[in-house]
Amino acid sequence: MQRDPYFQGQQMPLLIGGATTSRAHTAVKIAPHYDGPIVYVADASRSVTVMQNLLTPETRGAYLAEIQADYEKARTQHANKKGTPLLTIAQARANKASLTFTGSNTPVKPKFIGRREIKNFDLSIIAQYIDWTPFFQTWDLAGFYPAILKDDVVGEAATKLFSEAQAMLKKIIDGRWLTANGVLALHPANRIGDDDIEIYTDETRKEVAFTYYGMRQQTVKPVIDGMQRPNQCLADFIAPKGIDDYIGLFAVTGGLGIEKHEQRFEAAHDDYSSIMLKALADRLAEAFAEYLHERVRTDFWGYATGENLSKEALIKEEYLGIRPAPGYPACPDHTVKPDMFHLLQAESIGMELTESFAMYPGAAVSGFYFAHPESKYFSVDKIGVDQLEDMAKRRGLTKAYLERWLAPNLS
């Protein structure tokens, strides 16, 4: 934006959002270089409320002043924050997680190798896997479901909202307003070097479908009970060559067909129903991802055939294995998505990527499956220039290209 003359002097409201954005990043890196109103929107369903505040003369001035004051506070906090001490990438790799791949940790071979589609899946089944807590957060109601329904402060509003959500969810299911499609793929895989994973087309492990280039934690880790915590990377959870290991990929959507209903609500100037529909489509996509991961663990891959977890246990992630998604803490790099979508042939289920790697439809989830019993979610956080340069060299890309996409993680 600093270099693009298009943005100079612009007064059009600019809304910033997405998995790799944040309030602090907007305040420090973006807002100072744009003359018009710029607002960080944590969830797309809140954009209508933001625009109403911006376009209503009675609220615009006070709203912008509040935003500006908040950004000034964020910039001050950022300026006063001490730099996070980092290890060199060599030191971080030397402190990687040391996992075994024998005995009870021996990799389990999936029941099939390749991809499988699930089209027009029953929404009534998916709805049983909905985690409602993020739904209330979308509407700025803080609290955990179901306790939020009895909260002294927001309980009445939450109960009313939940009732209306259930009514629309019934219409979505009974009227088949939305279509849920998914695809998964299970493939042989091995760690190469320290941080990367080769994903193979078949069991011969001779042809590489693509290589996932991992990012490793570089912050100095604490010593707890005499043991230093490891600097983790997703590649740690995959066995090196010589041991047959596997990895999974998936993409799901719960938002196919949403446009005609959005247009219907917009034509009726019914912003509330439009936001409600988007919020429920998002919940259905996440619930579909939860359901499919359960099927993978207990059936398709079958590394946890005896699993019998309650919905509450699923929400608490008490299962074996993880499903990290590009753009999120353990897997911040969005640029892996084209390789994933190509291997999954995601276009066959109606999913595609924009030039900025956003998924379409918007109500969608994609990611990897890791099955190692000790695989856990973690946050990469800040990395050093040495890791950035090393990744650029391994991938045959320019440093500038990766700087653009990994900016939130650069120290």
- Tens-digit pLDDT string for the chain (411 aa): 545 555 555 577 888 776 557 777 787 778 777 778 888 887 665 666 787 787 788 888 888 888 888 888 877 776 666 567 999 999 999 999 999 999 999 999 999 999 999 999 999 999 999 999 999 988 888 899 999 999 999 999 999 999 999 999 999 999 999 999 999 999 999 999 999 999 999 999 999 999 999 999 999 998 888 888 999 999 999 999 999 999 999 999 999 999 999 999 999 999 999 999 999 999 999 999 999 999 999 999 999 999 999 999 999 999 999 999 999 999 999 999 999 999 999 999 999 999 999 999 999 999 999 999 999 999 999 999 999 999 999 999 999 999 999 998 997
For CATH 3.40.50.280, the residue range(s) in the chain are 5-80
For CATH 3.10.196.10, the residue range(s) in the chain are 114-121+178-184+228-409
Q: Is this structure's pTM higher than 0.75?
A: yes
Tell me the residue type at 260.
K
SS3 content of the chain, % helix, strand, coil (to 5): 45, 15, 40
Residue 361 has what DSSP assignment? S
The string of DSSP letters for 179-236 reads EEEEEEEEEEEEEETTTEEEEESSTT--SEEEEEE-----BPPPEETTEEPP---GGG
How far, in Å, CA of 28 to CA of 38, rounded? 12
> Residues, the chain, total?
411
Helices (H) and strands (E) in the chain, counts: 13, 12
Structural fold of domain 114-121+178-184+228-409: Cobalamin-dependent Methionine Synthase; domain 1 (3.10.196)
Structural fold of domain 5-80: Rossmann fold (3.40.50)
